[in-house]
Amino acid sequence: MNDILVVHGLNLSYFTGKLEAYFRAKGIDYQMAEMDTRGFAALGRITGVRQMPQVECPDGSWLTDTTLILDHVERFGIEPVLTPQDAATAFVARLIEDMADETLWRPALYYRWAFRDDARLNSTRLARGMLRDVPLPLPLRRQLILRRQRRHFLSRDGVTGKTAPAIEALYLEALAAMEQALAHAPYVLGGRPTAADFGLFGPFFRHFFCDPTPARLMRDKAPRTLQWVTRLWGADPAQLGAAPLPDHVPDSAAGLLRLVAEHHLPYLAANADAVAAGRARVRFEDGGAVFSIPASPYRAWCLDRLRLGAAALGPLARARIDDLLGPAAGILRQPRQACGAFKPPALPIAPGAAARAVDRAWRPA
């Protein structure tokens, strides 16, 4: 058994990059284990969740879901602490993280698979990485990847000729919001990164920074954001520990909070209504375009979790959130709703026979 954490994921994965940046900023040693299809299936049997990354702990237990992992690790108080003590600031960090995880997902996947150069680059990387254990020639593996990714992350996710302009506009709006947030501070809420930074790092590192088309736009329009990506990836834990934790929500975060209020919370509310009503699809308007996509029990849970966090705030913090979000804050005051079939894992996932079996079934390349 390794004496450090093993992160099972991919080196071009949205959420693997998010988690790696967090571990690096905390100074937590880990070993990266690149998944293949057999390993992905084996880990799904152990944790009950077919997603990446998954973290294997030295005691044989497992961690999954990056949002839950960040919360779990922060509770140990390992320095540098990256959760603000001010309740309103900590809640805003969580809101921005959730927006980055669940709403910037669409432009990140759109740019990766809708543009020729980006799709060719990443289908080749996935064919040689995740599908390296599939006994087919490389060109066939590439075609399998292209068909699957375009079906799941373009057509199934509501990307059409009519919605593409709104998705592109959302990316440009996000770049402008990041430039505003980073104008006077190294991280989006101040001198030390928070969950907001790590959530944003998911789309901004492995997708917008690395994929050719969005990277060109970032270089042209958002030089501070370009610097922030490399700053966070190379952050020194000792230097972070010497910087003050954010103790208020700066005015410079206004653009990011507009993304939350105008794009993210209305979608989460529409999705939660669809899940609660048992509808298979959710129809919503965003950026002047109408989307119809599968309803997501997971994202219904995301809103439920935000509502639970908002309800726990004291009167002053709650008033501050209302002021920052405007009318969209009413979405957080609505009653919590059922999340359908989704049940969040309790971390850590206990070791046992299944966890030992993975050592036989899965060998990192």
| Per-position pLDDT tens, the chain of length 365 | 458 999 999 999 999 999 999 999 999 999 999 999 999 999 888 888 889 999 999 998 999 999 999 999 999 999 999 999 999 999 999 999 999 999 999 999 999 999 999 999 999 999 999 999 999 999 999 999 999 999 999 999 999 999 999 999 999 999 999 999 999 999 999 999 999 999 999 999 999 999 999 999 999 999 999 999 999 999 999 999 999 999 999 999 999 999 999 999 999 999 999 999 999 999 999 999 999 999 999 999 999 999 999 999 999 999 999 999 999 999 999 999 888 888 888 899 986 534 443 333 332 22
Torsion angle (degrees, nearest 10) of CA 283, 285, 286, 287 = 150
Query: What per-residue confidence (pLDDT) applies to 2?
Result: 59
Distance CA 166, CA 161 (A): 10
Query: What per-residue confidence (pLDDT) applies to 50?
Result: 85
| pTM of the complete model | 0.94
Instruction: Find the angle CA(200)-CA(202)-CA(74) to the nearest 5 degrees.
Output: 75
Query: What per-residue confidence (pLDDT) applies to 47?
Result: 85
Query: What per-residue confidence (pLDDT) applies to 360?
Result: 31
Helix, strand, coil abundance in the chain, percent, nearest 5: 60, 10, 30
Distance CA 298, CA 37 (A): 23
Distance CA 331, CA 54 (A): 31
Torsion angle (degrees, nearest 10) of CA 107, 256, 186, 198 = -60
Q: Return the residue matching tokens 């320095």.
A: 79
Distance CA 292, CA 67 (A): 26
Query: What per-residue confidence (pLDDT) applies to 352?
Result: 52
Report all structural domains of the chain as residue ranges with CATH numbers, in order of start: 5-65+345-361 (3.40.30.10), 87-112+161-333 (no CATH)
